[in-house]
Amino acid sequence: MAQRDQDNPGEWQQRFPVRARRMDSEGPKGRPGYRSFGAERGYNQGGLGGLGAYQRGERPRGYDEKLDMIEARRAQGPGRPPRGYQRSDDRIREEVCELLMDGPVDVGDVEVTVNNGEVTLNGRVEERWEKRAIEDIAANVRGVHDVHNRVRVRPPEDRPVAQEAARLRDDDRPKEKSGDQPLMGV
């Protein structure tokens, strides 16, 4: 189209009069064709010459801002319960058990009991970090006042992984033959 426009400059002005008027007028910084008027003003700028909502300084609250407000309230922490409210021990125990099942620790040997909002953990785990992790999980449940962590860490020789390693190590050692000299330096 650019080649045809240069060949016969008056023809395209007759075919596209609105475009010709726009190209003849100068807009900002003397650039032809960039004058803003009417419906061609651009996105969210008022259409027919008036100031748009954005230019007037109005900022409608969008969905993202509402979500941000909700997150800000959550960051302040849980609201205060009504006077005299105490969450039932059964609900606390159920939520602690569900969170422990979803957590990173195998809690098959851990028992959870709740009495007046105090959680008691009994049992055994493999590593010390697991003991701390399940205590933190229980302490962050709503309605828990205190956590008594009576979980014990298994000694290394009682752990299944250590027992399996010892068995493999013993299987790889050469056996003594009866009546022979014992193998030295093995």
**Residue pLDDT, tens place only, 115-156:** 999 999 999 998 899 999 999 999 999 999 999 999 999 887
Lowest-confidence pick of 67-71, 99-103, 112-116: 67-71
pLDDT at 4 over 60: no
Q: Phi and psi of 34, rounded to 5°?
A: -115, 20
Instruction: Please give the pLDDT value at position 158.
Output: 73
Instruction: For residue range 8-56, list pLDDT tens digits in order.
Output: 666 656 666 666 666 665 555 555 555 555 444 455 544 555 556 556 6
Instruction: Please give the pLDDT value at position 154.
Output: 87
CB of 27 within 8 A of CB of 34?
A: yes
Instruction: Please give the pLDDT value at position 129.
Output: 92
Q: How many CB atoms lie within 10 A of CB 52?
A: 14
Structure tokens at 63: 């969905």
CB of 144 within 8 A of CB of 119?
A: yes
